[in-house]
Structure formats: C-alpha cells, structure tokens
C-alpha cells in the first residue's frame, strides 16, 4: 500500500503583481514630471516675453540680435546733431530691449538647466530604486524556486502532480522573464532619456555661453554708446557756450539800439528846433518884405509930392519973374511968395530927408532880408542833413532790430534743440538732508568730482537679523542732487525749461515721492528760501521784461487747483464749488481747459506770491503718523503765457504746469483712519494709476489708461507727447523708509526709460 503525499497548495503568481511589487501605484512617471516642468518653464518664458518689447521690435524691423549688433550709424550729416541724437536714442532703445531680452533668455536657460539637472537626479534615483526592486524580485523568485524544488523532492511519489506543478512553475518563470525583459526595456528607455537630457543640457550650456558672449558684446557696445553720448553732451556744452555768446551779442546790440534811439531822439529835437527857427525866420522875412513894400510906397508918394512941389515952385518962380518984369507987384505979395517959397523949400528938404531915411531903412531891410534868406538856406540844408541822418539812424535801427529778432529766433532754435537733445521727459533725483532721529541713512548719491550734482544714486537695504548685509541697488538719472544742494542749484537746472514755456512750449514739472521726502519744500519752499514755483515766476517776469524792449507784449494768467479725493477743487475761488464739479477738457490742439476755474491776470511776481498765499491757505493738509503737516491732495499751479510782437508779426502761447503731488503712504505705517484713510486710499489710487500710465507708455501699448484717475487725465497732454516734462523724485535717507524709497526709484527708472513725442512749439504768425 502506497502512501499518498499530500498536495501542497500552489499559489498562482501574477506577472503584473511581480512587476509592480515595490512600486507605488500613484507615483508620477519621470517623463510626466519633465513635461510638467517644461510646461511651467514655457509658461514663465511666455509671460516674460509678453513683458519685454524686443520681439515686437524684431517683428517690426526684421532685425536679429546679431543684425542689431552689426547695425552701423549711417545717413546723417555730422553737423546734424539732432538727427544723430534721435537715431542714437532709437538705437539705444533697441539695445536696451535686446539686452533685457537676452538677460531674460539667459535666466530662462539657467532655470531650464536647473530643472533638467533636478529631473536627471530624480531619474537616477528612480533608476536605482527600480534596480533595487528588481533585485528584490529576483531574490524572491529564487527563494520561491528553491521552495518549489524542495516540494518536488518531497513529492517524488506524486510525479504527475509535480509535473503539473512544474508546468505551472515554468509558466510563472516565463511571466517573470517577460517582466524582467520589460524592466530591462524600461531601463534602456530611461538610459536613452538620460542621454537625451544630458545632450539637451550640453546644448543649453552652449546656448547660455553664446548668449553670454552676445551679452558681453552688447555691454561693450553700450559702453561705446555711453562714450558717444558723453561726447554729445560735450557738444551740447559747446552749443550752450555759443548760445551764451549770442546772448552777449544780443545784449550789445540792444545797448547799441538804445544808444541809436537816444541819438535819434536828440536829432529829432534838434530838427524840431531848426524847424521852429526856420518858421520864425520865414515870418521875419515876410514882415521885412511887407515893411519894404510899405517904405517903397511911402518913397514913391514922397517923390511924387516932391515933384509936385517942385513944379509948383517953378510955376511960382515964373509967376514971380513975370510979376517983377511986368507989373512990379507989391512987396507984400513978394513976401508972401517968398514965404511960400521958403515953406516949400523947407518942406522939400524935409521930404528929401525922409526919402534918405526911407532909402536907408530900405537898404537895411534888404540886408536883413538877404541875411534871412541865407539863414533860411542854411536851415534848409541843416534840415536836409538832419533828415538824412534820421533816415540813416532809422535804417540802422531797423537793421539792428532785425538782427535782434534774428538772434532771438536763432536763440530759441538753439535753446529748443538743446532741450530736445536732453529729452522731452527727464527725471531729477533729490535727497533731503538726514535727521538724527531717523537712524542710519541708506541712500548715497554718487556725486561727480567738483560738482554739486551727479547722475547716480545707490540704495543699501537694511541687513538681516543674523548680520548679513542687505542688497544694494544702483540707479542713474539725468541729475541727482545730494542733501547739500541748495534751491538755487536745483532751479539752475530747470531754468531752461521755464524759458521754453516763455518761448511758446508746453512744460510740466512735478514732484513725486513718499510723504515727508521734501516735495513741498522743493516746489513751494519758504518765504526766505523759495522753491521752484516762485523762482520760475521771477525768471519768467525777468525774461519777459527783456523781450518787451524788443517789441514783445505778454499776457499772463494764473490758476491753482488741487485734486482731493479724486475731485478737482479751485484754490482761488471765493464762492462754493459748481454743483457738477470742475471738468477737464483737452482739445485737438493740446490745450487743456478746466470748467468754472478761477483764472487771474498777473503782471509781476508779487501778484503771484499773493495768489499762492491765498491758495495754500485753502489746500488740504493733515497730520499722520509719518508727517505732522502732510499734503492730502495734489496741488497744480498753471501759468498761461500769451505773447505777440507787432514788429515781426509773431505770436506764442506757452503753458507752465508746476505740480506738487501728495506723498505715497503705507496704511500699516501711516495708521490712517476715518477721513485720513479715505484720503490715503485716493492718493495711492491716483499714484498707482500714474504708474500704470507710465508702464503703458514705456511698453508702447495701444491703449493708455489716462481715465483711471483725475490726475492722469489732467496730465494726459504732458505725458502723451507734445510737451516737455520733468519729474522730481524726492527721497528720504531714513533706514525705515528704505522700502518706499526703493519703490520710488524703480518708478522713476520706468519714467526715465519712457519716450514721448517731440514737443510742439505753440508760436507762429500773429493773428488779427
């Protein structure tokens, strides 16, 4: 009797179970993680490309990076400084966009490289894990195979069962081999993927190296451009010197005109005196001629009377002789006749004496008449000479006046050219003095040697708690004024812009910065140390008086308003505000009109000071945790200048906007509540809208959001082109204000990078 060996229960091994053993079912595949990271990289790259403008420039011009670097400056005359500068500004703008684009590409490539390195590391770790799991599976299969062999040894008598078990084990072994082959195939694919990733990493490194070379070339080219810009600035200084020489020549011509005018006045007085003497001489001559005619008439009458008496005497003598010879008249008759004869002789003698006297008087009158005629001839000659002299002086005066007008036109042209070379939108940075209570200063202006202002400013952020120093940031602007710079130093730099307003340009100057950074001090100042607005008024009135000597006449009208809680408020009005509020309207010519706004004619700077005191007494000012006298509104001073010259038929219309912006505040620091909270929100909203407008202008956006704020809507003509704009960014050196100062400097850098349209002159022929 044979003993039956009991069956050992067999377990069927699933290949999928063996393949997935030791593997998490929810783990991501490496290829999926690579695709996700690549998608994220592409999304970040796409967002960066949307922010930069190089692709737009490349699409519009067809330029590549190498093509831009190979571009040469051609097509401009060496004397056409303005054209060269405009071409250089466009090229510099393209270079800036290209550098930003290359910098962004380099950062993206570095990010891709880091991502690929991380992916490669993860793939290596997963490969090692899978190899370990495969070894574990192989060890498990070996153990299971030994168990089966032991079962086969023990089940020698159950051969058929063992054969079936063998077949089953062979099937399981085939499945295991298939699983091993799949694992090997997967390992081969992972190795190929790893090689591809390594190849991509090498390509990325090559591209990064090439981009770095291009970046170095761009930096070298930018350095050359900066040197070229410095040369242009030296040429601008030479033009300024030439303008100063022309102004000196203009002053000399003005003094010569004044001298010729005085000489002409004296000559005119002499001519009038000679004319009076000539008229008096002509009257004396006429009187003498009348007297001569009267004497001639009396002489003729006396001669006739003498002849009559002589004839009567002859008749009497004849009668006497006749009487003596014929009748012998009596003695009495003879005596009577003798007496009559004596009377007649006496009368004849007196008549002869009268005739002699009349002849002498006639000769005297004739001499005086001849002298009067000679004097009249001399006076006529002198009159002709004086008239010729007057004509020559008037001709010289006309020539001198024409030269003065020509020099004035040339001065305006040179002045406008210099201002255009400096740019239609400029940024000046001013750092107020440090106060001991504010702690350590974090802002350092980079001043040039031997000057009171430079072009760079450096900000050092506060360090960390573990002692590490904070990061440093460097910014460059058109001008940087240190704490020691005076109001005179600052106004000296903007005085030429003020002159542009008198020449018929539209000019806007505004101060930007956090509360307590010195904006109001810069724009308004104090009575003993006035700011930019009072000094600009003095400059305009002084220059207008000089132009009045050349025949110019000016009419100046001033207005002052504030933008408080997104509403326009008239600071010079005496009554209540209009029911619908003030409205700002811009016409097609760029003129800005504010409805129901008080506009006052001003003739001298003293009148402007009175208006400003009156307006500032109504401005909204309040105390916050950051500033005891904080401006709670944007203050806008506008001066409209209308000029005309009858001599040349010219006219000009200039506008000068001087704006003191309210300071930006953080609610966490200002601790504003109630009305102050509402004011702070309105201020921050308008300043944020101003930043959006600047960003849109800098990126050449199709739509500029001017209507997002009352401030940006009022500044549209100044920011949108057709005006010369200057921005003061005022900074506080306090360490606790470092964050706000850095934000202000970044905003100022955006403004400095913007380009607006060329300013249009608002002068032309005089209209009747």
The percentage of the chain sitting over the pLDDT mark of 90, rounded to a whole number, equals 6
CA distances, 60 to each of 55, 74, 94, 621 (Å):
8, 20, 12, 50
Position 232 confidence tier, pLDDT thresholds 50, 70, 90: low
Write down the pLDDT at residue 405: 64
Average the pLDDT over each of 16-25, 396-405, 429-438 and give the range with the smallest value.
16-25
Q: Is there a binding annotation on residue 739? A: no
Average the pLDDT over each of 189-198, 583-592, 645-654 and give the range with the smallest value.
189-198
Q: Within 10 A of 689 (CB to CB), how many other CB atoms are there?
A: 20
Q: Within 10 A of 105 (CB to CB), how many other CB atoms are there?
A: 21
Q: Is there a binding annotation on residue 129? A: no
Query: Pairing state of beta strands 630-631 and 592-594?
Result: unpaired
Write down the pLDDT at residue 592: 83
For residue 429, is pLDDT > 90? Answer: yes
Provide the CA 674 distance to its chain's centre, in angstroms.
38
Q: Which helix (H) or strand (E) holds 531?
A: none
Q: Which helix (H) or strand (E) holds 622?
A: strand 621-622
- Is 536 exposed, middle or buried (CB count within 10 Å of its CB: 0-12, 13-18, 19+)? buried
Question: Which one, of 146, 161, 156, 168, lies nearest residue 8 by Cα?
Answer: 161
Q: Is there a binding annotation on residue 698? A: no
Say how far apart CA 18 and CA 175 lie, in whole Å.
9
Q: Can you give 25-45 as a three-state secondary structure string?
A: CCCCCHHHHHHHHHHHHHHHH
Model confidence over 523-569: pLDDT tens digits? 888 888 999 999 999 999 998 888 888 788 999 999 999 998 888 98
Say how far apart CA 561 and CA 635 lie, in whole Å.
6
Encoded tokens for 131: 């190899």
Model confidence over 269-327: pLDDT tens digits? 777 777 777 777 677 777 777 777 777 787 777 778 777 777 777 777 777 666 556 65
For 471, half-sphere exposure in the C-beta direction (CA atoms, 13 angstrom radius) is 4
Per-position DSSP letters for 301-361, written without gaps between them: HHHHHHHHHHHHHHHHHHHHHHHHHHT---HHHHHHHHHHHHHHHHHHHHHHHHHHHHHHH
Query: 530 pairs with which residues across the strands?
Result: 525
Say how far apart CA 212 and CA 206 lie, in whole Å.
10
Tally: H helices and E strands in the chain: 16, 18
Reduced to 3 states, what is the DSSP secondary structure of residue 701? coil
Q: Within 10 A of 347 (CB to CB), how many other CB atoms are there?
A: 13
Q: Is there a binding annotation on residue 456? A: no
Query: 728 pairs with which residues across the strands?
Result: 428, 511
Question: Taking the chain, what is the end-to-end CA distance rounded to the nearest angstrom?
Answer: 144
Q: Within 10 A of 106 (CB to CB), how many other CB atoms are there?
A: 16
| Contacts (Cβ under 8 Å, ≥6 apart) of 200 | 116
Of the segments 196-210, 580-594, 677-691, which one has the largest average pLDDT value?
677-691
Q: What are phi and psi for residue 570, nearest 5 degrees?
A: -80, 120
Report the phi/psi class of residue 315: left, alpha or beta, with left for phi > 0 and alpha for psi in -120 to 50.
alpha
Residue predicted with more confidence, 217 or 353: 353
Question: Which one, of 487, 426, 495, lies nearest residue 452 by Cα?
Answer: 487
Q: Is there a binding annotation on residue 515? A: yes
Q: Which fold is adopted by the domain 423-575+593-763?
A: Kinesin (3.40.850)
In the DSSP assignment, the letter for residue 163 is H
Alpha-carbon dihedral sign for residues 404, 405, 410, 413: positive
Q: Is there a binding annotation on residue 685? A: no
Write down the pLDDT at residue 673: 60
Say how far apart CA 387 and CA 424 lie, in whole Å.
52
Report the phi/psi class of residue 721: left, alpha or beta, with left for phi > 0 and alpha for psi in -120 to 50.
left
The ranges assigned to domains in the chain are: 15-248, 423-575+593-763
Find the mean pLDDT for residues 119-148: 83
630 touches 515 (CB < 8 A): yes
Q: Within 10 A of 655 (CB to CB), how many other CB atoms are there?
A: 21
Position 667 confidence tier, pLDDT thresholds 50, 70, 90: low
Say how far apart CA 262 and CA 661 lie, in whole Å.
51
pTM: 0.50
Say how far apart CA 366 and CA 296 lie, in whole Å.
12
- Is 82 exposed, middle or buried (CB count within 10 Å of its CB: 0-12, 13-18, 19+)? middle
629 touches 587 (CB < 8 A): no
Q: Is there a binding annotation on residue 519? A: yes
Question: Which one, of 698, 699, 712, 705, lies nearest residue 634 by Cα?
Answer: 712
Provide the CA 349 distance to its chain's centre, in angstroms.
105
Find the mean pLDDT for residues 22-36: 46
Question: Which one, of 453, 426, 566, 605, lies nearest residue 510 by Cα?
Answer: 426
Say how far apart CA 506 and CA 639 lie, in whole Å.
10
Write down the pLDDT at residue 162: 60
Position 488 confidence tier, pLDDT thresholds 50, 70, 90: very high
Question: Which one, of 600, 727, 554, 582, lies nearest residue 657 by Cα?
Answer: 727
The percentage of the chain sitting over the pLDDT mark of 70, rounded to a whole number, equals 73
Write down the pLDDT at residue 555: 92
Average pLDDT, rounded, for the chain: 75
Q: Which helix (H) or strand (E) holds 243?
A: helix 159-326
| Contacts (Cβ under 8 Å, ≥6 apart) of 511 | 519, 520, 522, 523, 659, 660, 661, 727, 728, 730
Tally the residues of the chain: 768
Question: Which one, of 455, 458, 494, lies nearest residue 742 by Cα?
Answer: 458
CA distances, 729 to each of 367, 562, 750, 752 (Å):
90, 20, 12, 11
Encoded tokens for 145: 């195979």
Position 337 confidence tier, pLDDT thresholds 50, 70, 90: low
Write down the pLDDT at residue 430: 92
For residue 113, is pLDDT > 50? Answer: yes
Write down the pLDDT at residue 487: 92
Per-position DSSP letters for 275-290, written without gaps between them: HHHHHHHHHHHHHHHH
Say how far apart CA 507 and CA 505 lie, in whole Å.
6
b/e 414-453 (16+ beta carbons within 10 angstroms → b): ebbbbbbbbbbbbbbbbbbebeeeeeebbbebebeeeeeb
Q: Is there a binding annotation on residue 275? A: no
Q: What are phi and psi for residue 758, nearest 5 degrees?
A: -65, 145
Q: Within 10 A of 319 (CB to CB), how many other CB atoms are there?
A: 13
Model confidence over 394-411: pLDDT tens digits? 777 777 776 666 666 666
């Amino acid at each position: 009797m044979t003993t039956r060996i009991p069956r050992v229960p067999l377990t069927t091994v699933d290949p999928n179970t063996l393949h997935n053993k030791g593997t998490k079912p929810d783990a991501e595949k490496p290829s999926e993680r690579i695709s996700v990271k690549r998608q994220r990289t592409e999304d970040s790259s796409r967002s960066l490309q949307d922010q930069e403008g190089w692709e737009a420039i490349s699409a519009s011009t067809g330029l590549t990076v190498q093509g831009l670097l190979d571009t040469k400056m051609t097509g401009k005359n060496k004397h056409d400084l303005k054209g060269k500068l405009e071409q250089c500004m466009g090229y510099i703008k393209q270079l800036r966009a290209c550098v930003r684009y290359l910098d962004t590409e380099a950062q993206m490539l570095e990010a891709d490289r880091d991502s690929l390195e991380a992916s490669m590391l993860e793939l290596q770790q997963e490969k090692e894990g899978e190899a370990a799991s495969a070894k574990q599976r192989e060890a498990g299969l070996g153990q299971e195979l030994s168990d089966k062999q032991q079962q086969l040894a023990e089940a020698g008598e159950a051969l058929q069962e063992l054969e079936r078990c063998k077949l089953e084990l062979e099937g399981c072994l085939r499945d295991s081999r298939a699983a091993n082959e799949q694992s090997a195939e997967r390992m081969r694919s992972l190795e190929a993927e790893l090689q591809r990733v390594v190849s991509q990493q090498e390509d990325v490194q090559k591209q990064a190296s090439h981009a770095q070379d291009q970046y170095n070339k761009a930096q070298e080219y930018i350095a050359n451009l900066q040197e070229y810009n410095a040369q242009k600035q030296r040429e601008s200084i030479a033009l300024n010197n030439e303008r100063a020489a022309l102004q000196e020549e203009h002053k000399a011509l003005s003094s010569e005109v004044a001298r010729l005018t005085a000489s002409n006045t004296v000559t005119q007085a002499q001519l009038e005196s000679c004319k009076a003497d000539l008229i008096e001489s002509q009257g004396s001559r006429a009187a003498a001629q009348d007297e001569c005619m009267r004497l001639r008439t009396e002489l003729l009458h006396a001669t006739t009377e003498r002849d009559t008496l002589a004839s009567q005497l002859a008749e009497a003598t004849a009668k006497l002789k006749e009487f003596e010879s014929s009748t012998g008249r009596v003695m009495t008759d003879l005596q009577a006749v003798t007496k009559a004869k004596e009377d007649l002789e006496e009368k004849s003698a007196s008549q002869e004496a009268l005739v002699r006297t009349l002849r002498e008087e006639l000769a005297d009158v004739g001499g005086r008449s001849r002298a009067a005629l000679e004097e009249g001839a001399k006076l006529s000659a002198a009159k002709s000479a004086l008239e010729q002299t007057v004509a020559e002086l008037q001709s010289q005066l006309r020539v001198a006046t024409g030269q003065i007008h020509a020099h004035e036109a040339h001065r305006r042209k040179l002045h406008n050219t210099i201002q255009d070379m400096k740019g239609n939108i400029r940024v000046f940075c001013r750092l107020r003095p440090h106060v001991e209570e504010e702690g350590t200063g974090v802002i350092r202006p980079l001043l040039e040697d031997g000057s009171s202002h430079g072009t760079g400013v450096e900000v050092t952020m506060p360090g960390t708690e573990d002692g590490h120093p904070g990061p440093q940031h460097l910014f460059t602007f058109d001008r940087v004024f240190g704490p020691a710079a005076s109001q005179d130093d600052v106004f000296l730099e903007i005085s030429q812009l003020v002159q542009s307003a008198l020449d018929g340009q539209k000019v806007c100057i505004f101060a930007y910065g956090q509360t307590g950074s010195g904006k109001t001090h810069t724009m308004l100042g104090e009575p003993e140390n006035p700011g930019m607005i009072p000094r600009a008024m003095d400059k305009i009135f002084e220059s207008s008086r000089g132009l009045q000597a050349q025949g110019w006449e000016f009419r100046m009208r001033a207005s002052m308003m504030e933008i408080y809680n997104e509403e326009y408020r008239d600071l010079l009005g005496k009554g209540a505000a209009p029911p619908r509020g003030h409205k700002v309207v811009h016409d097609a010519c760029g003129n800005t009109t504010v409805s129901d706004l008080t506009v006052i004619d001003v003739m001298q700077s003293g009148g402007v000071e009175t208006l400003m005191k009156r307006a500032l007494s109504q401005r909204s000012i309040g105390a916050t945790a950051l500033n005891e006298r904080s401006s709670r509104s944007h203050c806008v001073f506008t001066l409209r200048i209308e000029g005309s010259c009858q001599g040349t038929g010219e006219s000009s219309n200039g506008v000068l906007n001087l704006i003191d912006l309210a300071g930006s505040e953080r609610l966490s620091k200002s601790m504003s509540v109630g009305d102050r909270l509402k004011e702070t929100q309105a201020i921050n909203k308008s300043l944020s809208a101003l930043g959006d407008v600047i960003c849109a202008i800098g990126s050449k956006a199709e739509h500029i959001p001017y209507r997002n704020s009352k401030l940006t809507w009022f500044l549209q003509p100044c920011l949108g082109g057709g005006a010369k704009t200057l921005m003061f960014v005022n900074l506080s050196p306090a360490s606790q204000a470092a964050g706000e100062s850095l934000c202000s400097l970044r905003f100022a850098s955006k403004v400095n990078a913007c380009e607006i349209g060329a300013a249009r002159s608002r002068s032309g022929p005089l209209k009747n």
